[in-house]
Structure 1
């Protein structure tokens, strides 16, 4: 191999290594057990919890809460968009330190993830177009619905096998926004969606959609961490309790959701 080729090859290896390291979470301190910087894994198309505005900036309820928690912890945070369908793998591998973006606490996830105390309520909504002849869950027999791959909506479907079997098809999307776009143009008959996302999207498109059912599950959101990161979990619980007691969570909920749907944290 010529010297020039060797140099080029070595340069590429270095660049790749730097890129990999840049995307990794920080190792916990040997003294505190907490990293000196927290990499937050998120889906950047999950309004109003975390998404990009018209200028491409990350905004949303969870973004604001994480920034406030960062100030009180005295630890900087960095937001990293990940494939939400592979979020558990990103956390376990150390690519990110926490999962914080409308993450539903489920028994399945609790087997592999340590959660903070729950901080927000959530439901699963069945949404259709406002002119749809569908009026309830039973009317979906033989119909096609859309939902987000890797979301708690999939878990809700798996818990309601009779309803799942009654459907003609379940189309899975990378995010709910694209599911709503297909619903609006008639490619699917309905969307099964987290209530915080569904209601936010419906407010942005007044008169376009209606909720026909919300019986598929009541849920709560939490911050996901590795099971071995107990010191970080304890710190997060403490600072989230402070944000709950002083009204910060309530104020941010009203800002992004129009109402306080947060939970009291002790």
Structure 2
């Protein structure tokens, strides 16, 4: 008799515990829901009707100010096009090579069109879209420095390289010319100014920018070697798969429609000869 009573009591307790567990689980799902209920950044942008975009001026023709003080350039047109298609207002925030990633991770900006190379190291901190431009680092030297053809030729204390911190160009110089003198500046125009004033012997930047400047200026010589194949991507915070998918669709659409090629010719004055793959 006692054994039957004990079994009934035990069964009742187990059923009660199971019911409580189910109710607790349901409450958790209907409450904050953890990661499953988190709102994707795309939804937040659409809800507030505004997108904050980090850009990296001055760097003609990628991103710079016109005579009226307006931001213009290849990156600016891409950001404005995205805002137009989303139907949201664009607010530009200036970033640089040092703080453009932290601007994303801290939430200071929603995303960046900041001439940033998507690579494995940076992908530990933020996510990237598929590339909307592909370029490579090239060297520019002052006129008359004919003995310098490669970065290794600069590996001597008698040579000074003007470089921007936190860039692929900096990584290249530190690796292959560690004995040269490095003069850190804040932007590509400052690199060019250092060459022009004789304060630097060489600079490193995207080949698109080096070739563009060499075609206009008489103080810079663009060297032929291209050191990297760099995918220039949109950067955004991790944990936003819907935004990432939308950005990939957006970039793919701009490439297949021919808009990207038109924009490149508009700003660089030449046909785009690189290869950009699409996902959609």
Q: Is the 8 A contact 1:120 1:222 kept in 2?
A: yes
Aligned-residue offset at 1:213: 4.8
Question: Which deviates further from its counterpart, 145-154 or 59-68?
Answer: 145-154
Corresponding residue number in structure 2 for 1:49: 62
| Residue aligning to 2:267 | 256
Pairing partner for 2:43 from 30, 33, 36: 33
Q: Secondary structure at the match of 2:75?
A: helix
The structural deviation recorded for 1:120 is: 1.1
Q: Structure 1: give runs of 5+ residues left out of the alignment.
A: 1-27
**TM-score, structure 2 length as denominator?**
0.77
Tell me if structure 2 keeps the 8 A contact 1:121–1:219: yes
Map residues 52-91 of structure 1 onto 2, 5 A cutoff.
Answer: 52-91=65-104
**What's the counterpart of residue 209 of structure 2?**
197
Question: Which residue number corresponds to residue 212 of structure 1?
Answer: 223
**What is the CA deviation profile of residues 184-235 of structure 1, one whole-angstrom value per residue up to 9, with x for unaligned ones?**
1211110011112212222231x32212353432211000000112211111
- Tell me how far apart the structure 2 counterparts of residues 187 and 121 of structure 1 sit (CA, whole Å): 30
- 1:156 maps to which of 172, 175, 191: 172
**Residues 254 and 215 (structure 1), Cα distance of their counterparts in 2 relative to 1, 3 Å cut:** closer
Please show how residues 227-238 of structure 1 align to structure 2 within 5 Å.
Answer: 227-238=238-249
Report if the CA contact (8 A) 2:97-2:164 is conserved: no
Deviation of residue 79 (structure 1)? 1.0
Q: Tell me: CA distance 1:73–1:202, structure 2 relative to 1, closer, same or farther (3 Å).
A: same
Whole-Å separation in 1 of the counterparts to 2:41 and 2:227: 45
TM-score by length of 1: 0.81
Secondary structure, counterpart of 1:101 in structure 2: strand
Report how many aligned residue pairs link the two structures: 234
Instruction: State the SS of the aligned residue for 1:222.
Output: strand
CA contact (8 A) 1:149 1:175 kept: no
Gaps of 5+ in 2: 1-37
Shift in Å, 1:62: 1.1
Deviation at 1:135, TM superposition (A): 3.5
Aligned to 1:241: 252
In the alignment, the residues of structure 2 paired with residue 58 and residue 134 of structure 1 have an alpha-carbon distance, to the nearest angstrom, of: 38
* Deviates most, 70-79 or 222-231: 70-79
CA contact 2:55–2:75 (8 Å) conserved in 1: no
Q: Deviations over 1:51-76 (max 9, x none)?
A: 11121110001111221122122232
Q: CA deviation at 1:32?
A: 6.0
C-alpha RMSD over aligned residues: 2.0
Q: Output the CA distance in 1 between the equivalents of 2:164 and 2:172.
A: 12
